[in-house]
Amino acid sequence: MARRVLRQDIIKSRAFYDPASLSPSEELHYLQWVASKTNTLVTGSKCSCQCLFCFRKYYPKESKIFYLPEVKLGQLRRIFPYLRKDRAIRIGMFGNIMDGDFFDHDQAMPILESLRQRFPQTELVINSSRGTNLNKPAIRNMADYKNILLRLQFVSANKKNRDMLVKRPSTDTEITSVLGWLRKYQLPFEIELVAIPHLLGWKDIERTFFFLDDYAPVRIKVYLFSFTKYYIKELTFSNNKKLLREFYSLVNKVSNKIGTRIDPFPRPVSKGDVQPDLLRVKQIRRTYKGRILFLVSQMAYPAIKKHISDTDGIKVKMAKNLFFGGNISVAGLLTAEDYLQAAGKEEFDVLVVSSKPFNYAGYDLKGDHKRLLKQRLGKKVLYI
Ligand code: SF4
């Protein structure tokens, strides 16, 4: 199958990343570009659940995150040629497109069938579903398609807690039945467990691990609940460090007792994780003789600070996620403005920051271009 080439002039224009200005043909171009870059098929942001903690209600409204209406099968077929058959095809969201539930798409099963016809051997990974609209025949069909991995979101083994946090459509089957059919038809699935200890307590989360283990998922990815500064007070917590420690301790304890692998997120940042950044900044040190200011995310700061000292001529400073706020602490959700705030009145000659907050065309989620850093600071800026 010949892969198509996308027009770079369109991709690099600002309008390409500004959803409000996309015409239907540009939108298709955008989705083709996403497919060619990430092997992801984006089908839309539709979701029929109502989760108490859903990010959609609590993100900065001035950000460039957008709701994508359902993309019809006819359009999706025009995206297929940009997907690669030699690596897993993900069905889900990308970058600044809001997450949805694939099975809320009116044509979910025909899309899968069509993908399977076009890519008979390729692994299909269905990201982040709450299991809405899933029933026995659908799961049996998917198992027949072979080489499909389903990522299923979950919150608690306790039905009362589930009902409090996640309102599923009233026509939906109980999620426990969905789990039962997944086990019966041996459709591989991963669980994405949102751990909300300040509302549910650690005991509930511990019970949930044991409960899920009985259904034999491929693994459980457990995410400590994260929130922006726009979340209502009842959903937030203040002692992030203590909660993180308790989170890792629970994961370690349960991992020794159940057969299913558990992967916690955020992961504790080790020297290995930051090694590429350390090497890169030390390389920069050898090339540039002036004072270097290295701005790092809150998450990576302790591990990086441990291995670079001011005596190396590199000042390491933490950049806080002020735009999103809350307990968000990762590099990918920083903005150019956050970096400017962190640079403050520091004196330096070269600024080093992560390239993660900036997309292919150089824009962050606030819609600012990375060139803003050089313009405002008047210094050399390097991205690692
Ligand atoms: S399933 Fe996801 S997108 Fe849908 S309401 Fe819940 S958190 Fe939001």
Q: Mind listing the pLDDT tens digit for each residue in 204-263?
A: 999 999 999 999 999 999 999 999 999 999 999 887 788 999 999 999 999 999 999 999
* Phi, psi (deg, nearest 5) at residue 198: -70, -15
6 has pLDDT over 70? no
Q: Are residues 250 and 369 in the same domain?
A: no
Query: In the structure, which protein residues have their CB atom closer than 6 angstroms to any atom of ligand 1?
Result: 47, 49-51, 54, 56, 99, 101, 130
Q: Which atom of ligand 1 is nearest to the CA of 50?
A: 5
The structure tokens listed for 111 are 């899309």
Q: Whose CA is nearest to atom 6 of ligand 1?
A: 51
For the ranges 5-14, 34-43, 345-354, 362-371, which has the lowest average pLDDT? 5-14
Q: Does a structural domain hold residue 240?
A: yes
If you ran DSSP here, which 8-state letter would residue 97 be given?
B
- Ligand 1 probe mutation, 45, 51, 134, 193, most atoms within 8 A of CB: 51
Q: Is residue 3 part of a domain?
A: no
Phi, psi values for residue 333, rounded to 5°? -105, 15
Tell which wins on pLDDT, 20 or 268: 268
The C-alpha angle 323, 32, 77, rounded to 5 degrees, equals: 130
**Rounded to an integer, what is the distance from CA 180 to the centroid of its chain?**
27
Query: Is 53 in contact with 235 (CB distance < 8 Å)?
Result: yes
In angstroms, the CA 25 to CA 35 distance is: 15
Q: 129: CA distance to ligand 1 center in Å?
A: 9
Q: Which atom of ligand 1 is nearest to the CA of 99?
A: 3
CATH number at residue 95: 3.20.20.70
DSSP-assigned letters across all residues of 189-247: EEEEEEE-HHHH-HHHHHHHHHHHHTT--SEEEEEE----TTS-GGG--S-HHHHHHHH
The predicted-structure confidence for 342-351, as pLDDT tens digits, reads as follows 999 999 999 9
Nearest CA to ligand 1 atom 7: 54
Q: Ligand 1 pocket check: which of 45, 49, 102 to mutate, most ligand atoms within 8 Å of Cβ?
A: 49
175 residue type, one letter = I
Q: Which residue has the tokens 């800026």?
A: 381
What's the gap in Å between 329 CA and the centre of ligand 1?
Answer: 21
Q: Does one domain contain both 14 and 152?
A: yes
Closest CA to 154 of 205, 119, 201: 205
Using a pLDDT cut of 90, give the percent of the chain over it: 69
Q: Are residues 257 and 313 in the same domain?
A: no
C-alpha span between 43 and 233 (Å, rounded): 33
Domain's final residue, options 247, 265, 283: 265
Q: Which of 43, 45, 128, 130 to mutate to test the pocket of ligand 1 (most atoms within 8 A of CB)?
A: 130
Question: What's the Rg (C-alpha) of the chain?
Answer: 22
Whole-number Å distance, alpha carbon 160 to ligand 1 midpoint, is 18
Here the contacts of 177-186 (C-beta below 8 Å, separation 24 or greater) are 178/131, 178/134, 178/139, 178/152, 179/152, 179/212, 179/215, 180/215, 181/134, 181/135, 181/136, 181/139, 181/140, 182/139, 182/150, 182/152, 182/215, 183/215, 183/216, 185/139, 185/140, 185/142, 185/143, 186/143
39 and 158 belong to one structural domain: yes
In a shared domain, residues 229 and 334: no
**What does the CA dihedral 373, 376, 379, 384 come to, rounded to 10 degrees?**
-10
Identify whether residues 292 and 364 lie together within a single domain: yes
- Atom of ligand 1 at shortest distance to CA of 130? 1
Residue 309 pLDDT > 80: no
Beta strand 292-297 with 314-319 is: parallel
Mutate to test the pocket of ligand 1, among 101, 163, 192 (most ligand atoms within 8 A of CB): 101
Work out the widest C-alpha separation in the chain, in whole angstroms.
66
Looking at the structure, do residues 49 and 100 belong to the same domain, yes or no?
yes
3-state class of 187 per DSSP? coil
- Residue 179 tokens read as 């789990």
Confidence of residue 12 (pLDDT cuts 50, 70, 90): low
- Tell me the C-alpha distance between 157 and 201, whole Å: 12
CA of 134 relative to ligand 1 center, distance in Å = 16
* Tokens standing for residue 214: 């009985």
Contact yes or no for 83/35 (Cβ under 8 A)? yes
Residues β-bridged to residue 66 = 97
Q: Are 98 and 66 in contact (CB under 8 A)?
A: yes
User: Which two three-digit tokens encode residue 233?
Assistant: 């007070």
pTM value is 0.89
Q: For residue 221, which phi and psi values (nearest 5 degrees)?
A: -95, 120
- Tell me: the pLDDT tens digits for 108-154? 999 999 999 999 999 999 998 998 889 999 999 999 999 999 999 99
Looking at the fold, whether 126 and 255 belong to one and the same domain comes out as yes
Query: Residue 268 has what DSSP assignment?
Result: P
Tell me the mean pLDDT in the region 332-348. Answer: 96
Task: Name the percent of the chain lying above pLDDT 70.
Answer: 94
* Structure confidence at residue 289 (pLDDT): 84
Domain count, the chain: 2
Q: Using the mean position of ligand 1's atoms as its centre, give its distance from the Cα of residue 181 in Å.
A: 22
Q: What pLDDT is stored for residue 16 in this prediction?
A: 60
Alpha carbons 175 and 162: distance in angstroms, whole number = 10
Instruction: Give me the domain span that covers residue 359.
Output: 271-383
Q: Which two tokens stand for residue 303?
A: 């591990």
| Dist. CA 352 → ligand 1 center (Å) | 36
Amino acid (1-letter code) at residue 77: R
* Statement to judge: residues 147 and 220 lie in one domain: yes
DSSP E strand boundaries for 266-313: 292-297
Domain-embedded: residue 190 = yes
Question: Are 193 and 337 within one domain?
Answer: no
Quick one: average pLDDT of 153-167? 94
Q: What average pLDDT does this structure show over 44-71?
A: 90
**Confidence category of residue 10, pLDDT binned at 50, 70, 90:** low
Amino acid at 36: S
Best CA proximity match to 41, nearest among 130, 122, 121, 147? 122
| Band of pLDDT at residue 2, cut at 50, 70 and 90 | very low
